[in-house]
Every structure is written in structure tokens, then in C-alpha cells.
């Protein structure tokens, strides 16, 4: 999912997709530090839904803080944050349609312009 911090290749078979929602009014830092050869850290804003890949045995640390300090406020096993399908995390208004269902052959199928008027 993230190109910046890919999971170690020897752990790809244990990979899961997870979702965490910051239900507080404070900015949080989400960290995973218990996976060898890998480090994950993201800022999670109030109300934000963080979707991420992790290893099934990893733990997500939630750090909540003020201006210059933070405290470890929760540690959650990533397996408890696992989502079954990516589509279940999408809002209901997002259409679930394959790109190949109705291919567009030419640009004029998308936009139709009125015929130009000749002014004399």
C-alpha cells in the first residue's frame, strides 16, 4: 500500500489490511515498532480513517499528545484492526465498477461540444 515503507519481503505472506479511526479531538501518532527490519509511523488527524498494511502479529501503538509531548495511550493488536475487503472501507457513495465494464473508445464519448457558430 505504501511505497515509502514496504513490508519486508519474507513477511508478505502474513500481510493484512487494517483500519484505524482516530475518534478523539486530538492529533495522534500511529506507530508499529515490533516488526523486525520495518518501522511504520503516521500522523492521524481527528476523525481520520487510517488504512494500512501490517503483519498479523504486529501491534499498533497510539500516541496522543499536546504541543511538545505525547503519551502512549493505547496498544492494539493489528489483527483486531483487520478489514476483510478494501471495498468495505469505502463510503457508500463511491461506485464499485470495474474500469473494463464500459471502455470509452474516443474522447467525444465523454464530452460533447456544441457546434461552432459562424459570425459574419
Interval 29-66: pLDDT, tens: 999 999 888 889 999 999 999 999 999 899 999 999 87
**Alpha helices for 1-120 (secondary structure H):** none
Query: What is the number of structural domains in the chain?
Result: 1
Query: Cell numbers of 43, please?
Result: 500522523
Beta strands 49-55; 59-65: pairing state: unpaired
Q: Is residue 16 within 8 Å of 82, Cβ to Cβ? A: yes
Taking residues 6-35, what's their average pLDDT? 87
On whether the pTM is more than 0.75, the answer is no
Whether residue 48 is contained in a domain is answered as yes
- In a domain? residue 72: yes
Q: What is the mean pLDDT of residues 14-24?
A: 91
Residue 114 lies in a domain: no
**79 Cβ partners below 8 Å, 6+ apart?**
16, 56, 57
Domain that holds residue 62: 9-82
110 domain-assigned: no
1, part of any domain:
no
Asked whether residue 100 is assigned to any structural domain, the reply reads no
pLDDT in tens, 56-107: 899 999 999 877 778 899 999 999 999 976 555 566 666 665 555 555 555 5
Read off the C-alpha cell for 15. 500481510
Helix, strand or coil for residue 74?
strand
31: how many CB neighbours lie within 10 A of its CB?
A: 17
Amino acid at each position: 500500500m505504501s511505497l515509502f515503507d514496504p513490508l519486508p519481503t519474507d513477511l508478505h505472506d502474513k500481510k493484512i489490511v487494517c483500519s484505524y479511526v482516530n475518534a478523539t479531538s486530538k492529533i495522534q501518532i500511529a506507530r508499529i515498532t515490533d516488526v523486525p527490519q520495518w518501522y511504520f509511523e503516521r500522523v492521524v488527524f481527528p476523525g481520520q480513517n487510517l488504512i494500512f498494511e501490517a503483519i498479523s502479529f504486529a501491534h499498533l501503538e497510539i500516541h496522543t499528545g499536546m504541543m511538545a509531548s505525547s503519551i502512549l495511550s493505547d496498544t492494539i493488536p493489528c489483527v483486531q484492526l483487520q478489514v476483510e475487503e478494501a471495498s468495505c472501507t469505502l463510503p457508500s457513495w463511491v461506485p464499485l465498477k470495474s474500469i473494463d465494464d464500459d471502455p470509452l473508445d474516443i474522447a467525444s464519448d465523454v464530452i460533447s461540444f456544441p457546434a461552432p457558430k459562424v459570425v459574419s
